[in-house]
Amino acid sequence: MEKQKLLQQTQSRDFFGHHMLLHASELQVATAKASEDGRFNHCLAAMTMTSLAIEALANAVGGRIVENWAAFERLSPLEKIVHLQEKLGFEYDLTKSPWPTIRYLCGFRNDIAHAKPEAVEETKIFSEVAASKFLFHTPLSRLEKEITVGNATRSLEAVQNLKGILTDALPAELRFGIYADAWSGDTSSTSNA
């Protein structure tokens, strides 16, 4: 009986959390668009993951270009982006896309992380014909009203745009792994002695 050859595989990868967060958001947005079932929760997950990806992306880029990036850990995600803009010189015009959405997402992140109770009251007048549409409609808080497919989609697109802006601003030798998750590896035959 012939012995099976053994294979040895070595793989390596630099992990960047923004890829994981953006991928999760992409899946949640796609699910929210495809079905009304659980749509609110899919949008909530997408927007939360996307808002968290901003800081993860800033940390990935900052760790490559700023000496002692750890000193910047206490900054807000938006402050980190401003510091990266000063260092890399990319356009940062708060009136142009994606910056208003990035700012919005930084506020949304804080609103989610520090959600506070809110008394919600809503009065509607409707016909008997439309009663089934409104009778069991839960009134939404200000925060809940922001969680929509449109906002989830816009948020994801803005952070993907930010990823491109930051990657393009980096020197070519520092771009690997920032725009796309990547790994390398090799497999070779080994003796089975």
60 vs 16: CA distance, rounded Å:
6
Does the pTM exceed 0.75? Answer: yes
21/48 Cα distance (integer angstroms): 9
Nearest partner of 53 among 24, 21, 78, 28, judged by Cα:
21
Fold adopted by 13-171:
Four Helix Bundle (Hemerythrin (Met), subunit A) (1.20.120)
Q: What is the pLDDT of residues 91-113, one digit of tens each?
A: 999 999 999 999 999 999 999 99
pLDDT, tens digit (0-9, with 9 covering 90-100), for 32-80:
999 999 999 999 999 999 999 999 999 999 999 999 999 999 999 999 9
C-alpha dihedral, 52 to 53 to 55 to 59, nearest 10° = 140
**Averaged pLDDT score across all residues of the chain:** 93
Mean pLDDT of 154-164: 98
**CA-CA distance, 184 to 186, in Å (whole number)?**
7
